[in-house]
Structure 1
Amino acid sequence: MEDILTDFSETPSVRSAIKANWENYHYFLGRSPRAELSIGRYLTWLITDVPDHFMNLVLCTELPPYGIDLLIGNALTHFKDMNIGRLSWLAKEGLPATELKNQLLAHGLTFRESFAIEMAADLMELPEDSSMPAGLRIIPVEDKRSLEQWIHIASIGFGVPARSESTWCDIFTDAVLEQPFRTYLALLDGEPVATSQLFLSAGVAGIYNVICLPNVRGQGIGTAITLAPLLEARRMEHRIGILQASQMGYKVYRRLGFQEFGKLSVYLWEC
């Protein structure tokens, strides 16, 4: 069992845990036989048939002494052969940033310096009680039917084509219906409207896939679906929650007590 990180003031440890939790999330998705998880000396990747940057990730862990151009080219050729439409490419901290950036840009990737804001919160400081909007109920996703509903809402939020929902659902059926994942669906008057997910790894509680449908925003639903997994993590004696915030969700997370710890910089590729 991993040690739970308890000292929110230990900034380097929190920063490392944010990155490790995010990376481990993708490793665990690799439990699905429908995903390709490749762990190599220089490159590690999770590749799926879901056309989404988050569901296709390459992590550069080390630069070879020579042949980096060939390494990148061969990897991209492999992804093209698999008909991968979108992916994100990250680099481990400490790698020669300029050399890698020049090579990736030359191969057609686009650099996003602030793709998301890395944030963390002390779970002991969460609001003790946040009133739920009338008619809202948050349920755990524990079977194929509720997962299909969850995938449909998340697909709308992330712009994933409807034709890919069954593929995404199959991967998550294999990978996320058991620990260390917990998945949540918000129902407003019985209709699915929002999603979130809890992933426990690297000693912290990671929050992922927070989506609220546009037509029900502004009612506190985004706050409620984010708070539910955080409170669950606290009940499980976790002390620190982490996430990667988009501009849209940033204010919600700040109100819940999240603080900035860095930025997630990525290279994006579309074929």
Structure 2
Amino acid sequence: MPTNIIMENIYEATADFPFDKLTIVKPTAIAGGNYFMKFRIHDSPLYIQSPKCQLKQGISKAGKRFYSDLMFSNEHEQFTQWIERLENFSQKYIYEQRAQWFETDLDMHDIENSFTPSLKLYKSGKYYLARASIPSLMGKCSLKIYDEKENEIDYEQLAENMNVITILEILGIKCSARSFQIEIEIKQMLVLKPTNLFDKCILVKTPGSQPVPGPGIIDLGKTMDEESTPTLTNPSIESAEGFSETVAP
């Protein structure tokens, strides 16, 4: 099995993704006078496992549709570059099929300018947002969401900045009179438990070690007279500039 396939028909967004096996199906009419072109790889839907990312604000609802904004940081360069490669592939594929698919002639410049970016900059470029639709049934969210113990979670328990891993279906390209836009749907979600290294004590005391009193800490083993009279134990004192000064007795 190639290294970029996690399990059968589910791929990772890596540099060696087989774009040469990816195809786009001829546009079909959908509601609103628009058209839709499906992605296919080996005659199957295109599924991608995302890297660990964050939820902007859980799952939202607009009208009858559910959606979620996934946040990717600058550390997810491999994933963001893959999305860019997918967009470039799509633009070239549409251009090569333009005569068979469209009544009006399109040049490459027209297609590139009409393409809506799949990733949007967020928080002054600190993050990239990818909006993905959520499957629904009878007006209710039907997405399967699990925790790390494989327990199901209700979508209303999701909150902003939660860490998740998702299986994404890159559905295809929605085509209107003015734009092309890649449509993404979340097929499954795994919620990761937050971890903080410093939630518990991680300091290890060396056997036999004794605490050393620091500045301003009184050693209770000394008398008040001893404490009030400073003693110079080392005639060499490190100055603030990093040079050693000798103090006369």
Structure 2 length normalisation: TM-score? 0.19
Greater share of helix residues, 1 or 2?
1
TM-score for the superposition, normalised by structure 1: 0.18
The structure having more radius of gyration, on CA atoms, is 2
Q: Which has the higher contact order (CA 8 A, sep 6+)?
A: 1
More strand by share: 2
